[in-house]
A and B are shown apart, each in its own frame.
Chain A
Amino acid sequence: MLTGDAQKFYGLLFGIGFSTLLITQQLTIFVNLIERGASGVYNVPTAKVWVMDPVSRTTDVNYAMPSTALDQVRSVPGVEWAVPHLRATAAVRTGTGDLEGVSIIGVDDATLIGLPKNLVEGSLDVFAQPDTVVIDDVGINNMFEDGTDPIGQRLELNDQRAVIRGVADAIPSFTSQVTLYTKYSQALNYVPGTRNRMSFVLAGISDGETAEGVADRIEEQTGLKAETRDELAQAGVDFIIQNTGIPTNFGITVLLGFIVGVAIVGLTFSLFIRDNIKQFGALKAIGVTNAKIIRMVAVQAGLVGFIGYAIGVLGTVGFLAAFSGNPFFKGFYIPWQIPLISLGSVIVILAITGFIAIRSVLRTEPAAVFR
């Protein structure tokens, strides 16, 4: 019945598809966006434990420690290695005279731990040259919108000279701010001079140790705060959730998607039932039970729901594919939980609207077919 009525069939497909698209796409953007609160951690894959001042909360919200903290951490059993890590912000003047806010990340001079795993352009050797900075690939779009090749470009960082000699393949930060990587010793020159400037100590763990165990030991022995990768990444995500209106805004959009779905599907379902009430009455008179009618409608609604759901999910995939070249969407993916949430929403939409619509069929007396 339902699949044979093209108008209502496509109406339901649209309702389910649009609702699924809105829910899936918005949840995908939301999850990927808040995960960028953890990009600072994800960009440093080698560090198993991050040590910081007890008041520090995330990679971006940190309080500098005295340089002696590095030796304290190195002395803790289970720590295989420990390196200094600096994260600060600065204003940079570009060659064209523009002023841009940037993140400065100072990586260990000797090991370069703290750098993203891959460089898109240049090699690690460039750090041997004076005043070298490596820019993140998304940052290029912000700082060189006109397409200028960033390699070799000179910048002025707090009256200090910097030369871009490489491009890092990095996960953008939550704000997509330009990020410049340089050696720790060089970074100290770029950020305003204060007594303590070391933001973190990055630590590796010895064989047989767990990150949690070593972190606990560091906290006990140094009085500093030590977190594993996962803990600090989660802290970054939590910070965004707690301190921005993003969850509320995305939540409203997702809720609207659900409501739009209920409205369109409910209206179409009701029209379908109303238009076919005589046929349902005839089936009941013939001897088709309510249970069979419910099953019949449920199967058809399930089929329409599945197709609409598939269209919505594929629409989200298409959306991400279409915008994959946009730096804002770099690294975006659809977590497996999101299609499940959308599927659950579609099932709930169909259950609510189907229940409301089918009630009139169940209430219809078979004798009504003769009237």
Chain B
Amino acid sequence: MTQTQSAPSEAPEREVAICARGIVRDFEAGQSTIRVLHGIDTDIQPGEMTYVVGESGSGKTTLISIMCGILWPTEGEVRVFGTDIYNLSDTELVNFRLENIGFIFQQYNLIPSIDAAANAAVPLIAQGMALEPARRKAIELLDALNIGDQANKLPKQLSGGQQQRVAIARALVHEPRLVVCDEPTAALDAKSGRRVMDLLREVAVAEDRACIIVTHDNRIFDLADRILVLEDGRVTHDGTEMPDDH
């Protein structure tokens, strides 16, 4: 088993996107406690598409939930672009997520009763932007994702791939510095999945933006800049390619 977990840099040349130190997470299960993450230390760099892969139950979803500020670690510290996010108050953390993080969910989780443009505009509206300018900005992004002509359609009128593009637009519309994707290709066929990942690489990866993708879809492993492999709550591999034994 390869253990090439990146050592924390003493003096990074550029700002690290995520700096996680000693992340431990326990879950209560009846009267027993299950440790899902065992003291993970890792840095996520901007400008990279980082995959977090592993079998079901390996702790990858728990890890990215902690990294993006929606699940408190039992122990450890997470800095996102220098901000110790779990030292923020609840309100500050919510606002931090709203300003700095974009989410792409496995099931898209689009709001069924509003059209694609409004769905994509949700983060802007939540930030307080008026509906019309928020929609205009969302439509610009939908245009860039080649579904501008679907802007007025409800999610149920769109295909899976189109819904995923709307979800990508929603994740990027407010220009976050961190994009977190949970199994973005799980509900898509191989061709659509590949297209979505190409698209994500094209629009989500930027010099000042980090992109973390949780996946176990081996069809897209070749698109990663860096792959973290989790097994039983520990990072067992950290490299640019999947280890041979996977």
Contacts and interface: CB of A to CB of B under 8 A. Distances in A.
Interface in B64-79: 64-65, 68, 70-71
Interface in A98-136: none
Contacts of B96: 287
A282 B101 CA distance: 12
A365 B109 contact: no
A292 B113 contact: no
Given A292-B126, A370-B64, A286 B113 contact: no
B122 A286 contact: yes
Contacts of B61: 370-371
Chain B: interface size category: 20 to 34
Contacts of A371: 61
Nearest to B127: A287
A312 interface: no
A285 B70 contact: yes
Contact of B112 (A5, A292, A365): A5
A366 B85 CA distance: 15
A279 B182 contact: no
B113 A1 contact: yes
Interface string A273-285: 0001011011111
Contacts of B68: 285
A278 B70 contact: no
B109 A281 contact: yes
Given A287-B98, A289-B94, A2 B182 contact: no
Interface in B94-111: 94-99, 101, 103, 105-107, 109-111
A285 B114 contact: no
B173 to A, nearest CB: 11
A244 B114 CA distance: 54
Contact of B123 (A276, A286, A292): A286
B218 interface: no
B91 interface: yes
A286 B64 contact: no
B223 interface: no
Given A4-B114, A287-B97, A278 B109 contact: yes
A3 interface: yes
Contact of B99 (A2, A276, A287): A287
Nearest to A289: B94
Nearest to A287: B98
Identify which of B61, B99, B103, B114 gathers the most chain A CB atoms within 10 Å of its CB.
B103
B154 interface: yes
A322 interface: no
Nearest to A5: B113
B109 to A, nearest CB: 4
Nearest to A9: B113
Contact of B154 (A4, A283, A285, A370): A4
Contacts of B105: 278, 282, 369-370
A308 to B, nearest CB: 18
Contacts of B99: 287
Contacts of A287: 94-99, 101, 123, 126
B113 A278 contact: no
Contacts of B114: 1, 4
Interface in A1-54: 1-5
A278 B107 contact: yes
Interface string A348-371: 000000000000000001110111
Contact of A370 (B65, B122, B123): B65
Contacts of A282: 103, 105, 109
A365 B123 CA distance: 18
Contacts of B101: 287
B113 A4 contact: yes
Contacts of B64: 370
B113 A285 contact: no
Interface of A: 1-5, 276, 278-279, 281-289, 292, 365-367, 369-371
Interface of B: 61, 64-65, 68, 70-71, 91, 94-99, 101, 103, 105-107, 109-114, 122-123, 126, 154, 170, 182, 214
6 contacts: A1-B113, A283-B126, A287-B94, A366-B70, A369-B103, A370-B106
Given A1-B113, A282-B103, A287-B94, 17 more contacts: A2-B113, A4-B154, A5-B112, A279-B109, A279-B112, A282-B109, A285-B103, A287-B96, A287-B101, A287-B123, A288-B122, A292-B126, A366-B71, A367-B70, A370-B61, A370-B70, A371-B61
